[in-house]
Amino acid sequence: MMRTRPLKVALLGCGVVGSEVARIMTTHADDLAARIGAPVELAGVAVRRTGKEREGIDPALVTTDATALVKRGDIDVVVEVIGGIEPARTLITTAFEHGASVVSANKALLAQDGAALHAAAGEHGKDLYYEAAVAGAIPLIRPLRESLAGDKVNRVLGIVNGTTNFILDKMDSTGAGYQEALDEATALGYAEADPTADVEGFDAAAKAAILAGIAFHTRVRLDDVYREGMAEVTAADFRSAKEMGCTIKLLAICERSKDGSSVTARVHPAMIPLTHPLASVRGAYNAVFVESDAAGQLMFYGPGAGGSPTASAVLGDLVAVCRNRLNGATGPGESAYADLTVSPMGDVVTRYHISLDVADKPGVLAQVATVFAEHGVSIDTVRQQGKDGEASLVVVTHRASDASLTGTVEALRKLDTVRGVASIMRVEGE
């Protein structure tokens, strides 16, 4: 039997995502009510400035006083899609204090202060859901937090930023340079006017922190995530990747150590074999590859950004939180019982592709090989091309730690025969 009194929802933010959330709440009101067991009512919308016409939203619901809205006391669920750290953090904790559960899409805040927000939700017996914070419409947090709760996740490897994937895919498919591909992404609306958060990996790093925390039941903060942007990736790197049967993606990688005592989280460009499922993810799409003991290998794929896809994830959380509200229950909170050590990047072991500019004369290869051997880095393959006294030397290693590779490169730079290190790229997904 359906309850007639509606559950009241406060919406913080009415931009691309917020306006879609409001639209779906209105146009799908009957379906949402049937799925929840009670109608949901948009009780207020907080925005920065009033006066703008917002299609489908009663102007009487619009306010610039977000604090007063979340303090009303009759709000059941607050949906936060304003982003940033403040005032979002204060508004969310205030919502808990005044009896509301929260649905958020705020990856930056959750990566930085997720533990404190979970603690505040737990203190007041309220829900904190955030499926939309990681990969848009792709159901990912709930499968990790609930469907795989009885399994042991060992690795999460993913493309979690559509802008960077569009740029790298364009470079791969057309041979375009980085700036040319970025300009096209901007013209098509995939990249912001200031693309720094995307191309420098900040967006993906926040998502990696959230995913690692859930997957490994360990608190992982944004500061724990190694981050490397993609502005230095060149058309030459893609040519080298193709020669190896690979492509290049900006990856978020979260993995458990072999002995199970520690985890790492990192974001950086990497070569992956064309045979790996992530290699075929094109355009602005996202995909996340999960490896666990019992389930084996799973891949989640779909649109990772945009108003409608992100709103879909928000509404999914809203339905779950409203159901919990009706049942007088809460869903899963933070699970950080494992409390594993978060290891630094220097401990990460992977393969490397190193391109060197060297003098084209006898003995160079032997000198380079000696440096690798002295630092305990085993070479898999070497390719050398020379012309007019200059040459390029491409070395692909077996698995080595980041720390040992760093020492190797520092020593290579000191050789008189090495003119420069053109590029260093990790090789993942094997």
Decide if pLDDT at 358 tops 70: yes
Decide if pLDDT at 54 tops 90: no
Decide if pLDDT at 4 tops 90: no
Q: What is the 3-state secondary structure (H, E, C) of 307-320?
A: HHHHHHHHHHHHHH
What local confidence, expressed as pLDDT, does residue 53 receive?
82
The H or E element containing residue 197 is helix 196-199
Euclidean distance between the first and the last CA atom of the chain, given in angstroms as a whole number = 53
At 296, is the pLDDT very low, low, confident or very high (cuts 50, 70, 90)?
very high
Catalytic residue among 207, 249, 258, 387: 207
Decide if pLDDT at 8 tops 80: yes
H-type helices in 278-401, by residue range? 307-327, 364-374
Share of the chain above pLDDT 90, in %: 90
Q: What is the mean pLDDT of residues 401-430?
A: 94
Give the whole-angstrom CA distance, residue 53 versus residue 101.
28
What local confidence, expressed as pLDDT, does residue 390 receive?
76
Residue 189 CB neighbour total at 10 angstroms: 10
Q: What is the mean pLDDT of residues 36-56?
A: 92
Give the whole-angstrom CA distance, residue 84 versus residue 106.
7
What local confidence, expressed as pLDDT, does residue 1 receive?
64
What local confidence, expressed as pLDDT, does residue 387 receive?
62
What local confidence, expressed as pLDDT, does residue 389 receive?
65
SS3 138: coil
What local confidence, expressed as pLDDT, does residue 56 receive?
85
Q: What is the mean pLDDT of residues 98-125?
A: 97
What local confidence, expressed as pLDDT, does residue 429 receive?
83
SS3 36: helix
Which residues in 37-58 are b (16+ Cβ under 10 Å) and which e? bbbbbbbbbbbeeeeeebeebe
Classify residue 228 by its DSSP letter: -
Place of tokens 């409608």: 308
Q: Counting beta carbons within 10 angstroms of the beta carbon of residue 358, is it exposed (0 to 12), middle (13 to 18) or buried (19 or more)? A: buried
Give the whole-angstrom CA distance, residue 219 versus residue 204.
17
Decide if pLDDT at 55 tops 90: no
The H or E element containing residue 237 is helix 235-243
Residue 186 CB neighbour total at 10 angstroms: 15
Q: Mean of the per-residue pLDDT values for the chain?
A: 95
Q: Counting beta carbons within 10 angstroms of the beta carbon of residue 349, is it exposed (0 to 12), middle (13 to 18) or buried (19 or more)? A: middle
At 361, is the pLDDT very low, low, confident or very high (cuts 50, 70, 90)?
confident
Place of tokens 């494992």: 338
H-type helices in 37-161, by residue range? 66-70, 88-97, 107-123, 132-135, 141-142
Decide if pLDDT at 284 tops 70: yes
Decide if pLDDT at 51 tops 90: no
Decide if pLDDT at 75 tops 90: yes
Decide if pLDDT at 386 tops 90: no
- Cβ atoms of 270 and 426 within 8 Å: the answer is yes
pLDDT tens sequence across 310-342: 999 999 999 999 999 999 999 999 999 999 999
Place of tokens 């006391």: 73
Share of the chain above pLDDT 70, in %: 99
At 305, is the pLDDT very low, low, confident or very high (cuts 50, 70, 90)?
confident
Residues 6+ apart with CB under 8 A from 253: 155, 156, 157, 158, 208, 264, 265, 266, 267, 270, 428
Task: Mark whether 207 is an active-site residue.
Answer: yes
Give the whole-angstrom CA distance, residue 130 versus residue 122.
15
What local confidence, expressed as pLDDT, does residue 170 receive?
97
Classify residue 143 by its DSSP letter: I
Give the whole-angstrom CA distance, residue 243 versus residue 427.
13
What local confidence, expressed as pLDDT, does residue 15 receive?
92
Q: What is the mean pLDDT of residues 176-199?
A: 94
| Helices and strands, number each (H, E), in the chain | 15, 18
pLDDT tens sequence across 273-283: 999 999 999 99
At 362, is the pLDDT very low, low, confident or very high (cuts 50, 70, 90)?
confident
